[in-house]
Amino acid sequence: MLESDWQKSSYCGEGDACLNVAADASGVRLTESSDPDGLILHTTPDAFASLTHALKTGGPSPDIDVTRTADGLVRVGGVITTTHEKWDAFVLGVRAGEFDHFGRDRSLDLPGR
């Protein structure tokens, strides 16, 4: 069962299972709330920030790979498997800045900032 500190994208349907993100002293956690095995991807704030930056800019993430399977599922970091609909809702939330507080914003590294 998910803890109350998990956050999902506002683009997920009400009550729908979705990708969830949380942070604690050990780093950032990502899970698929409907995963019966309850698998959790553990990562660092910097690695999560590189993922969100990649999703915002359309580039690849150097730290967390995202692949699509032949049957339309999305695998994140080799641990989390989700549907493309849930992934797309997560990406919309990322692009809206809903998860920026979980990682260091790499856009601050850009020249002129």
The answer to whether position 54 is within a domain reads: yes
Beta strand pairing status for 19-24 and 7-8? Answer: antiparallel
What's the whole-model pTM score? 0.85
Domain that holds residue 54: 7-106
> CA torsion 76→94→38→35, rounded to 10°?
-80
The answer to whether position 113 is within a domain reads: no
* Residue pLDDT tens, the chain, 113 long: 344 589 999 999 876 679 999 998 889 999 998 887 889 999 999 999 999 999 999 999 999 999 999 999 999 999 999 999 999 999 999 999 999 999 875 444 444 44
Q: Report the number of distinct structural domains present in the chain.
A: 1
Reported as half-sphere exposure (CB side, CA atoms, 13 A), residue 84 has a value of: 7
The answer to whether position 34 is within a domain reads: yes
The answer to whether position 88 is within a domain reads: yes
